[in-house]
Amino acid sequence: MTIRFTKMQGAGNDFVVLDGTREPFALSPAQIRRLCDRHFGVGADQLLLVERSTRDEADFRYRIFNADGGEVEHCGNGARCFVKFVRDAGLTDKTTIVVEVMQGLITLTMRADGQVSVDMGAPVFAPPQVPFDQTGLTPRRDNDDDVWPLALDSGTVEVSVLSMGNPHAVQIVASAEQAPVAQTGPEIERHRRFPARVNAGFLEIVDRHTARLRVFERGAGETLACGTGACAAAVAGIRRGVLDSPVAVHTHGGVLTIAWDGRADPQASVLMTGPAVTVFAGEIDIV
């Protein structure tokens, strides 16, 4: 079949975006893998699908598929690209839209300066809801956060565990550049303590409002940026008392600004602001 697509990126996290409001979505996991393949397809970290919402209070439905073909709950960088896509495609003229995702609703706003702000909702810390199996483990209390020991082949690391609509394990490292992302990222991603797998974040504190981050993403490997990962890292740093809101999170692909008033209200929403760029549009035959 011939697929019409738009290639987009947000801070280097890149996507193939499909309009499912005009054409039915009928790709298999194998076809998604082919489409996201950087040698045989368009190349992307994730495939994003725009569909008509099933809920009256939402403007669109937003679905995300990782490069391995599996559908996942959330993607912050993709959400920013989503709002730019639907506006550029003439699907809406709103500057603020509400979209339906697997875990509920999120609000996206296109700003006058071209940046996009996303209300990512409140973080979730209860281990069963992440999900994280804490059976037999005792966390270390670090200010407002529980830091969990995670046994790896190379030794034990301490991680903050939370969900931003998808699961994250964030560890603070001395240097993000020198962190063993390629070695321990895959092990953390598939650790038995995370039954739905997990995004592994490696967070370096620069100062109280600045951090560096690398993320080994579930189903995609290390990406140039991870929106939910930046949110999770900032939240973990704020809870652990080493960061203050707002936080400029520097990734290999660019800077994301994360604001969270969690010290006053742990149920406060996380606000992420960053770029969204259209790279090109085209057609591709997929078998």
- Please identify which of the residues 36, 81, 226, 231 carries the catalytic annotation: 226
Which helix (H) or strand (E) covers residue 43, if one does? none
The Cβ of residue 254 has, within 10 Å, a number of other Cβ atoms equal to: 18
Pairing between β-strand 210-217 and β-strand 199-207 as defined by DSSP bridges: antiparallel
Residues 250, 230: contact at Cβ < 8 Å? no
Position 39, amino acid? H
- Please identify which of the residues 36, 75, 81, 231 carries the catalytic annotation: 75
Pairing between β-strand 46-51 and β-strand 13-19 as defined by DSSP bridges: parallel
The Cα–Cα gap between 12 and 275 comes to 10
Return the structure tokens found at 257.
Answer: 């600004």
What letter does residue 124 receive in the DSSP assignment? B
Computed on alpha carbons and rounded to an integer, the radius of gyration of the chain in Å comes to 18
Length of the chain in residues, anyone?
A: 287
Is residue 226 flagged as an active site residue? yes
Is residue 81 flagged as an active site residue? no
Return the structure tokens found at 166.
Answer: 């998808």
Instruction: Supply the residues annotated as catalytic.
Output: 75, 226
